[in-house]
Each structure stands twice: as C-alpha cells, then as structure tokens.
Amino acid sequence: MHPSSPINVLADRPNWPRRRGKRLAVLAVLIVLAVWPGSLGDVTREQIGSAYLGVSVFVAITLFLFYFIEEWFGLNFAKVIGRAGRAQVPIAAMMGMLPGCGGAVMVVSAYSVGRISFGSVVATLTATMGDAAFLLIATKPQAAAVVLPVSFVAGIISGWIVDFIHHKELSDPRGLSCEISPRIGRVRSIDWTFLALLLPGFVIGGADLVNHPIGTVAGMPSEWIGLAGAAIALLIWATSPLDGITNPTDPAITRMSEETGVITVWVIGAYLAYEYAAQYFALDLPALFHTIAPLLPLIGVLIGFIPGCGPQIVVATLFVSGAVPFAALIGNSISNDGDALFPAIALNPKAALVATIYTGIPALLVAYGFYYFAPGFMN
C-alpha cells in the first residue's frame, strides 16, 4: 500500500469538481422538497427523518464497531492472501463477505498486480454484498445471517470452478499500486458533529424499534434530530472528495461518517421514491411487484450487475420494507460486486466483465432456488 498524504485527496481526482456539482445539485433538490409548503414538504421531511432514524443510525453504529475493531487489531488480510496458495479462494471469499467494499477491493487490487488467481476475484465478487451488508445487518440481522454465509459458500464454489476451467489467466500485471482510496488522515469537525447527533439518534431509533417512541432527547424533538442527522450525513456525502470507498488507514470515525453518508443518500432516495409513488401516483408497489413476482429474482440479479453500492442499497431497503421477496435480495447480493467493480473495470476491463458474468450464474441458481423451494422465506 502507498496511501496518499492526509487531506491531499483532490490531486488524483480530476473529475471531482463535476462530481461535487452533481452531488450538491441533489442536495439542493432535497432541500427544496423538504421546505416545500403543504403535504409535499411534510412527507419529504418525515421520510428523510425516518430514513436516518430507522436505518442510518444503525448502519453508522455497525460501521463504527467494524472499523474500530479493524483499526484496533490492525487487521490486514491483503498481506495474507498473496501467500495463501490453494487457500486463496476461501480467503478471498471471506474478504468479500466482510461488510463494505474494502475487502473485495483489496482482492481486486492484488489480482491486478498478479498476486492471486482469477478464481479468487470471482470468489470475492460473488461473496461481497458491499455496503448493503451494513444496512441488512443493522436492520434485519436474521436475514443477514443467511445471506452472508450463503454468498460466502457460493463464492468459494464459484472460485474453485473458475480456477479449474481457466487455464489462461486474465491478469494484466503492470506494477500498479494497490492503494484502495486516498486518505483523509484525521477526524474532521464534521465527523465529530455527525457523531454527536448519532448518539441521540441511536437512542430514538432504538426506542422506535421496540415500539416505545421518544418525543424529545435533551429538549430537542426527535424529528429535529432525525432531520439534523440526515442533513449532516448528506452534507458529508455531497462534499466528500472520495468515491465511496474509504482508506483503511483513516480513523474509524471518519470512515463511519463517510460511508454512512453514501448509504444515507440512497436510503433516503428509496424512502422518498416509495412514499411519493404511493402518495402522489397511487401506485401500490407491493401489489405491482406481486404481479411480476417470478421476474423479481432476475431483476435483483440484473440490478446487481450495476457497478457501485447505491442500487444494491435500494434493493436491500425494498426487502427490509417488505416490498420484494428474499429471493430477489439474495440474487442481488450474490451478483452485485459493490464498489469493487470500479477498480476492476479501471485495471482490467476484460477480467471485470468476465467475472461479473460468472457471478450471475450462482446468483440465478440460488435466487430461484429460494423462490421456488422457500417462497415465503424471511418475508
């Protein structure tokens, strides 16, 4: 690893001004919708606050615990996998199964410099659920307890099969750096602000979860805390110089706030789309999804082919809300590559395309297996 200097994260990001402009435009649209008079503003504010208190606070706590443990024990699987021999595939699958995208990105980076087999890449991309894993662990852990092990096993089997049939490697070693993401290097003021709002938000969200709502915390109405927490998370996302992947050498609090911001914007988008469809377009999404039920596992798998974690977070959110079946969720979790697909495409487009196609095969088999043999599972 050769991490960039702390805070010096813009030099390697030539598209940063354009991306920041798009994110700020999204933030501006959300602000306009939130302050719009009448029912539109009321619905928007309610859903933004609900998304933060119902999902983001639990995701943030899970992220912090995970990254704190990683930081405290100095875990670095990337150093191990290159020397693992035949155990590369199971280790790669384990790294992919870890919540978030960091483990899978490290495997892809190790492959790009010729350290591991192509089957290991397929194993990690099959096993990974990306940032959607944090959402599922935080909101529906019983489902995560099934999805993650099943994806892990599917990754190992897929990786071993691919290594058996691929005698010619698709690797393109060019002495590339295995840097995952530029460093921020310190805990910023906005990270501390996010943490300060997270603590009362977690109390409110936890109380709502056990059907004992709390009206105020420290004299502040719970709705205000939800909106303020969401606003800070969105501001972190809109002004972040990163591409959604944090550097493992950054402080746990900074990594938590950065990745929660990315997840929050997608969860808010899913909440608003769902509520707007019901309120203003009279669409009954559960009924609509029911009419195309046999296609939902396939749709989940196809969405998984889209690079990045955002669309996958939407699928997980729809599952948590009861709109789509477990079969669609697990098909998506196996086929999706999370943010790991971005460096794979940049470093070796051919290998990225082939690996993505390979992940679709176990995804379809497992998804339709659950659909036909356990149709009501987890629903």
The residues spanned by each domain of the chain are: 16-373
What integer pLDDT is reported at residue 25 of this predicted model?
94
Nearest Cα neighbor of 354 from 178, 175, 180, 171 is 171
What integer pLDDT is reported at residue 78 of this predicted model?
56
- The helix/strand/coil state of 69 is helix
pLDDT tens readout for residues 246-288: 887 889 999 999 989 988 999 999 899 888 988 888 877 778 8
> What b/e readout covers 319-348, taking b as 16+ CB neighbours within 10 angstroms?
bbeebbbbbbbbbbbbbbbbbbbbbbbebb
Q: Which pair of tokens denotes residue 19?
A: 């991306």
Q: Are 377 and 328 in contact (CB under 8 A)?
A: no
Q: Which pair of tokens denotes residue 95?
A: 């790294």
What integer pLDDT is reported at residue 288 of this predicted model?
81
Least confident range from 11-20, 198-207, 345-354: namely 11-20
Q: In what helix (H) or strand (E) does residue 216 lie, and over which residues does it extend?
A: strand 216-217
pLDDT tens readout for residues 149-170: 999 999 999 999 999 887 555 5
What integer pLDDT is reported at residue 168 of this predicted model?
54
What integer pLDDT is reported at residue 117 of this predicted model?
87
Residues of the chain above pLDDT 90, percent? 50
What integer pLDDT is reported at residue 13 of this predicted model?
52
Q: Is the pLDDT of residue 116 over 90?
A: no
The mean predicted confidence, pLDDT, of the chain is 85
Taking residues 21-35, report their average pLDDT: 94
If one counts every other C-beta atom within 10 angstroms of the C-beta of residue 293, the result is 14
Least confident range from 17-26, 101-110, 117-126: namely 101-110
DSSP secondary structure string, 89-116? HHHHHHHHHSSBSHHHHHHHHHHHTT-S
> What b/e readout covers 70-93, taking b as 16+ CB neighbours within 10 angstroms?
bbeeeeebbeebeebeeebbbbbb
Predicted confidence band of residue 107 (pLDDT cuts 50, 70, 90): confident
Q: Is the pLDDT of residue 180 over 60?
A: no
**CA–CA dist 328, 300 (Å, integer):** 5
Instruction: Tell me the sheet residues that pair with 220.
Output: 217
Q: Is the pLDDT of residue 84 over 80?
A: no
What integer pLDDT is reported at residue 175 of this predicted model?
45
pLDDT tens readout for residues 210-253: 778 888 887 788 999 999 999 999 999 999 888 767 887 889 99
What integer pLDDT is reported at residue 82 of this predicted model?
66
Residues of the chain above pLDDT 70, percent? 89
What integer pLDDT is reported at residue 1 of this predicted model?
41
What residue ranges in 162-208 does DSSP mark as E strands? none
What integer pLDDT is reported at residue 48 of this predicted model?
96
Taking residues 105-119, report their average pLDDT: 79
Q: Is the pLDDT of residue 178 over 70?
A: no
Predicted confidence band of residue 74 (pLDDT cuts 50, 70, 90): confident
Query: Please, is 112 exposed, middle or buried when counting C-beta atoms within 10 Å of its C-beta (0-12, 13-18, 19+)?
Result: buried
Q: Is the pLDDT of residue 9 over 70?
A: no
**CA–CA dist 196, 268 (Å, integer):** 21
pTM: 0.79
